[in-house]
Structure 1
Amino acid sequence: MMITMLRRSSRPARTASLAAIAALSLTLAGCGHGADSQSSSTKDGGSSSSPSATAEPAVWPLTGLPLKGSAPTHPPVVVKIDNTVASEPQEGLGKADLITEELVEGGLTRLAVFFDTRIPELVGPVRSMRASDIGIVKPVHGVVVTSGAAAVTIGRLKAAGVNFKSNDGGASGFYRDSSRHAPYNLMMHLRDLVKTLKPASSTKPYLQWSTDGAFAGTEPATSISARFGGGHTTQWSFQGGKYVNTNSNADPKGRFRPNTVIAVRVGIKSAGYLDPAGNFVPESITTGSGNAWIFHDGKALKGTWSKVGPSAIWRFKDASGKAVRIPAGHTWIEVMPTDDKGGNLSYQ
């Protein structure tokens, strides 16, 4: 069945946009994942237009789930959110489509939280972006929402063509919550910002999605532990058909519960500067290849990942070299250090 990645745009060059989208079509087995339809998306923000009656069934770029009804005109929005206990409670995660977790200084982590199908009113606390975000955001041409960044990082993201909206740059929607402590008190009224964004052009899929529900994992994986150095470990438990981050900094009612957790092991290099406390600032190398684990339906599949450039999507293969598609749904990607001293992964 031909599944076409569509994003509605109010730009005049509609014919050219559709041609570009058609070139990005995926041939996937099955007829969709009706149980988790994103039909409620327009309720949570974003103007939209109806899909063509003659178009092939469309799917959301960040979930692979069927698009029913209208699609937003805004591009995917990627909010950089703190992931330490100082961020409690994190806001907005429960309405995300996809989240990646990346290493920052001190062995701690930061989240890149992708919103497309639903735009929450409140997100945060918003923190600074990193050079690691170039390869994480560019595949879907997302707009990064950030407090700011080091000068060298801003220069690199601009050179890479990454669009970002920052508090330092005076973007709409930011405010300081007086009940929180700085710098963990910068919050964002995300819908206010989205109203200011230019209409979206075509967006390719973030992952190679499968809509038939098939998954070749065989090893039990109802408990996962992803350790990012000595500073942070993300723990997962398979409950009720989804994975639950048991040590999340979000309120239990507002947590992101992915259908799939992916762990990729990547190289780490210096980002080219030290933080204000003099700590090494790591940069995750998300191009090339490495080991990968895919967790879905309480099972694990070990294989490899590859990504040929910052704008390329993540691709996965199993141990035999066969391409692996990711089950359609919500996904969390752990971007972990390759060095075992810096990051360990265990599951059972």
Structure 2
Amino acid sequence: MSAKSEKRPATAAVVMLFVTLALAASGCEGGDGSAPPTGTRTPSPSTPSVPPAHVLAVKIDNVAPARPPTGLENADIVYVERVEAGLSRILAAYSSQLPPVVGPVRSARESDLELLRQFGRPTLAFSGAQSKLLPVIAAAPVKALPPGKAPKGAYFRGGDRAAPHNLYLRPKRAVPDVPGVNAATYAGFSFGPEPAGGKPTATYGVRYPAARFAFTWSAQRRQWLVTMDGTPSRTSAGRPLGAPTVVVQYVRVRPSKFRDRGGNTTPYTETVGSGTAIVLRDSKAYKAAWKRPTATSGTTFTTAGGTRLAFAPGQVWIVYAAR
């Protein structure tokens, strides 16, 4: 069965306690004649209470043979991190809705565990891990969901590409009870109108040792369109891949004690602490400071004056870059 053959689900019912600000952005027609997919519900700043978190995090392959991804446009948050040999991998967080299929699914890393602590006890879908890391994952406060522990039919191999880049997840068979709350609610992000200031910016780039990203503002789609390794990114349906807000978060990336099969040391991305960031939204780049005091805390982004920096409604990309 091919991932492309799966049918898209009907739009999920809107949770009354939350304002679906993302729907306003979907009224802008894209350059290809289609409305840009919002795919998420944006938290309301006036929400009096928030249901307990139940986030599904999926580790997604991001090398050239694994592209285009399936279901990534429906994630609430897309985290991009560096892995062995200077390549990149994606951790996508789903909580407001579940697409029919996500993938291709690949292996987990140690730094995923620290990153996910902010979501309570999330489900982590992954295809495996370095053997010495498996006991660490088992002891972590996550619900580990590799294929061997998943319900029947939750994973399948697609026929559109070669292994190992063809393992896909049917999220609704794995985690049917997500709360309908944007994962950004638990991550500590703030959403609201366009902030004052900012530098008009057309494109912003990030380089890893063996991967590169560019984010280009599209006034038609009201999104930062993603380019990976010099090629414009697309969804599995052929639409441009982009997000209203992209955060380039400068962090410490250090060697971990783990290595891959080729002997390459696995990088560890430190997401607890503080540092600087660039926030891209509404055709501008904003200098920001980030702070995450503990692993169980969310991350706050503030302006030079100490004001919380509001993100645009919709999906958020967090790209971790070495400082």
Q: Which TM-score band applies after superposition, normalised by the shorter structure? A: 0.7 to 0.9
- 1:64–1:329 contact (8 Å) kept in structure 2: no
What aligned pairs does 1:289-304 form with structure 2 within 5 A after superposition? Answer: 289-304=274-289
Q: 1:166: Cα distance to partner?
A: 0.6
Instruction: Normalising by structure 2, report the TM-score.
Output: 0.77
Task: Provide the residue aligned with 1:36 in structure 2.
Answer: 23
Q: Compare CA radii of gyration and give the structure with the larger one.
A: 1
Task: Provide the residue aligned with 1:166 in structure 2.
Answer: 146
Q: 2:97 aligns with which of 103, 109, 118?
A: 118
What aligned pairs does 1:17-56 form with structure 2 within 5 A after superposition? Answer: 34=21, 36=23
- 1:217–1:300 contact (8 Å) kept in structure 2: no
Task: Provide the residue aligned with 1:222 in structure 2.
Answer: 202
1:155-213 Cα shifts (integer Å, max 9, x gaps):
33333312221114344411122332111111112222123x698999853133133x1
Q: 1:64: Cα distance to partner?
A: 2.1
Task: Provide the residue aligned with 2:31 in structure 1.
Answer: none
Do structure 1's residue 307 and structure 2's residue 296 form an aligned pair?
Answer: no
SS of 1:100's partner is strand
Do structure 1's residue 176 and structure 2's residue 163 form an aligned pair?
Answer: no
1:257-279 Cα shifts (integer Å, max 9, x gaps):
21100011111122212100111
Distance 2:20 2:64 in 1: 35
Task: Provide the residue aligned with 2:59 in structure 1.
Answer: 80
- 2:22–2:40 contact (8 Å) kept in structure 1: no
Distance 1:121 1:37 in 2: 24
Counterpart residue type for residue 321 of structure 2: M
| Residues 301-310 or 254-263, more deviating | 254-263
Task: Provide the residue aligned with 1:270 in structure 2.
Answer: 255
Counterpart residue type for residue 314 of structure 1: T
- 2:55–2:178 contact (8 Å) kept in structure 1: no
Task: Provide the residue aligned with 1:261 in structure 2.
Answer: 246
What aligned pairs does 1:89-168 form with structure 2 within 5 A after superposition? Answer: 89-141=68-120, 142-168=122-148
Identity between Structure 1 and Structure 2 (%): 26
Q: 1:97: Cα distance to partner?
A: 1.6
- When the two structures are aligned, how many residues end up with a matched partner? 286
Do structure 1's residue 285 and structure 2's residue 270 form an aligned pair?
Answer: yes
Q: 1:216: Cα distance to partner?
A: 2.9
Distance 1:164 1:315 in 2: 27
| Residues 72-81 or 200-209, more deviating | 200-209
Q: 1:130: Cα distance to partner?
A: 0.8
SS of 2:133's partner is helix
- 106 and 91 in structure 1: CA distance in 2 versus 1, 3 angstrom threshold: same
- 1:37–1:66 contact (8 Å) kept in structure 2: no
Q: 1:72: Cα distance to partner?
A: 9.8
- 252 and 291 in structure 1: CA distance in 2 versus 1, 3 angstrom threshold: farther
- 2:69–2:235 contact (8 Å) kept in structure 1: yes
- 267 and 62 in structure 1: CA distance in 2 versus 1, 3 angstrom threshold: farther
Counterpart residue type for residue 293 of structure 1: I
Distance 1:139 1:233 in 2: 27
Gaps of 5+ in 1: 1-7, 9-30, 39-59, 339-348
Distance 2:202 2:43 in 1: 23
Distance 1:271 1:110 in 2: 16
Distance 2:96 2:281 in 1: 22
Gaps of 5+ in 2: 1-14, 26-38
Distance 1:107 1:273 in 2: 15
- 175 and 34 in structure 1: CA distance in 2 versus 1, 3 angstrom threshold: closer
1:83-122 Cα shifts (integer Å, max 9, x gaps):
1111022111122221010110111111111222221111
Task: Provide the residue aligned with 2:308 in structure 1.
Answer: 323
Q: 1:32: Cα distance to partner?
A: 5.4
Distance 1:144 1:270 in 2: 23
Q: 2:223 aligns with which of 231, 242, 252?
A: 242
Q: Decide which structure has greater strand share.
A: 1
